[in-house]
Amino acid sequence: MKIVVIQGPNLNMLGVREQHIYGGMKLEQIHAQMKEVATQNGVEIEFFQSNLEGELVDKIQECYGEAHGIIINPAAYTHTSIAIRDAIAAVGIPTIEVHISNIYRREEFRQKSMIAPVCASSIVGFGPFGYHLAMIGILQILSEIRAAQEAQMRAQTAQEA
């Protein structure tokens, strides 16, 4: 099983930029914690960060047929990118949107997510811990999908017998 973590613009500057909003953790530290959870659960994890919208769309599309789940922080593109929204919808992979800050307590233009409607869930306002919550969430979603598939296979086998 494989999970891809996609990070949007300026997240490479975590630990430097606006620490009063985003905290002092660097992206590498967040990824190290996520990797630990993935390892404990026997899951492959891949990380990708870009400041360019098209590269984020390309990465989402590359997940098709390769990944079982996506965790994405589209950052500023959350509020503007129909292209990222459409890419998530197109691949049909369970996706969780994460935001370090509570976007609903920020500027009005940040309070609308173009991405949320095509995601399984959104986690906002928990700081870097939101990524841990997203890992737990995506693992649960994937576990439920696997259980449903196994039940369907058992039902088909019983019908054939």
Q: Which residues are catalytic?
A: 22, 99
Separation in Å, CA 54 to CA 71, 82, 84: 17, 11, 8
- Of the candidates 76, 31, 26, 35, the one whose C-alpha atom is nearest the C-alpha of residue 53 is 76
> Phi first, then psi: what are they for 101, rounded to 5°?
-90, 165
Matching residue, tokens 């019908």: 159
- Please give the structure tokens belonging to residue 123: 């986690």
Exposed/middle/buried for residue 133 (C-beta within 10 Å: 0-12, 13-18, 19+): middle
- Residue 124, SS3 per DSSP: strand
